[in-house]
Amino acid sequence: MQASAAGAVRNLCCTEAGGLRQAVAELGGLELLLAAATNHMADEGVLQQVSGALRNLSLDDAVAERIAAAGGIGVLVRASAAHRGSAKVQAGVAGALRNLSVSDEIAAEIAKAGGIEALVEASRDHVGNADVQGEVAGALWGLSVSDEIEAQIAQALGGPNPEPDPGPDPDPDPDPDADADADADPDLDPDPDPDPDPDPDPVPDPEPGPGCCWF
């Protein structure tokens, strides 16, 4: 019964004709859907229809805000965790989270509730399912509204942590010839003659020879 009722709402809200999405919200349909999901969390059929209905309803921005205010984000994240093997549940949840990220505040709430991790796990569990992959990619794109959430997405995806800035090189251009110049400069001789002879023996005067005159 719950799956059939949720499926009917899902089909009715495929289009916005006649303001059906707003009408469902005004008549308490959102609360009934969330209660059905909460009370039948182990029933894959119910969760397939409820997640699909919430995805269609959340195409209306005003209804999306009402779903978030009614606690829909937490219900969707729990449904994803309870039925990781169901591609239909994962596609419905990811599509709903994609539509729900209509504002920075709701995007932050999704990230805080574990929605990013749920989306990444769905993508990894259903690599070959185009519906899941498309909805997950759209949801992650819609959620990356701030540097903080982008960093959380990168971490969930297994991205590298940013390297700290080492700062400027203290000696960016050392002179490789400095040591050679120091060795070549006589003023920098590290070991001068420690005790030079201050008064060397005088050289004796040569004896006068032919052709020389000494006075």
Hey, which bits of the chain come out as E strands? Answer: none
Q: What is the dihedral of CA 125, 127, 130, 135, to 10 degrees?
A: 50
Per residue in 168-184, pLDDT (tens digit) is 655 555 555 555 554 55
pTM over cut 0.75:
no
* Distance, CA of 129 to CA of 159 (rounded, Å): 23
pLDDT at site 212? 39
**Confidence at residue 49, expressed as pLDDT on a 0 to 100 scale:** 97
Which has the closest alpha carbon to 126: 84, 154, 159, 157?
84
Q: Quote the mean pLDDT of the chain.
A: 83
The pLDDT value recorded for residue 116 is 96
Residues in the chain: 215
Spans of all domains in the chain: 2-156
Instruction: Return the CATH number of the domain spanning residue range 2-156.
Output: 1.25.10.10
CB-count exposure of residue 110 (10 Å: 0-12, 13-18, 19+): buried
Q: Give 207: exposed, middle or buried? Use CB within 10 Å, 0-12, 13-18, 19+.
A: exposed
> Which of residues 196 and 112 earns the better pLDDT score?
112
Question: Rounded distance, CA 57 to CA 157, Å?
Answer: 29
Cα angle: 198, vertex 200, 203; to 5 degrees: 150
| Residue 124 to residue 80: CA distance in whole angstroms | 13
Query: Which amino acid appears at position 41 of this protein?
Result: M
How many angstroms separate the most distant Cα atoms in the chain?
145
Region of residue 168 (left: phi > 0; alpha: psi -120 to 50; beta: else): beta
Report the 10 Å Cβ neighbour count for 84: 15
Is it the case that residue 188 has pLDDT exceeding 60?
no
Measure the CA–CA gap between 150 and 127, rounded to whole angstroms: 22
CB 122 within 8 A of CB 84: yes
